[in-house]
Structure 1
């Protein structure tokens, strides 16, 4: 077979594995990892794994150009707009922290 993934179970042995089956394996693996880590499982789909993988690479300080090349994105804008799930929350956290710190310092009579 010229397929990258082929079935090894007796009933389907040698037949190509469907993209739906591969998607199921990937999402099942991710859910298992969350369970083993004792972290609440977030909603995971095969498509969301792309965002998770690229955001994890970003957090590991992989250069954005390398992430885009690996994901076959022609523009950093694609990552920033659609896939940088961690970056969006990091920006929101920084903004929220700045607002709270400002409010606390203005209301603190000791400052």
Structure 2
């Protein structure tokens, strides 16, 4: 994977600068091999160098990722929404209601406090 690592090394720092991101840990699995490394720092005020083992706080993007995973599992027939969730999703789509208007225990959600 030296070629992949070189490609990451040439692309990731520019992407971080372009999007004003102080740092990122990047991992790629390809053909049974894993290339993982880090770039930049964890925080601009308290900078700690990022490596492949750096832990970051999970933000709102995790819901988007989870939704994409759920969608793929549904496409593959591995996961099916219960009738209440399916009906709720159709109702929200047809009425323009907020995605948080109805919840099901089978759907990923963030509890409101």
TM-score of the aligned structures, taking structure 2 as reference length: 0.26
Report the structure, 1 or 2, having the larger helix content.
1
Structure index of larger Rg: 1
TM-score of the aligned structures, taking structure 1 as reference length: 0.26
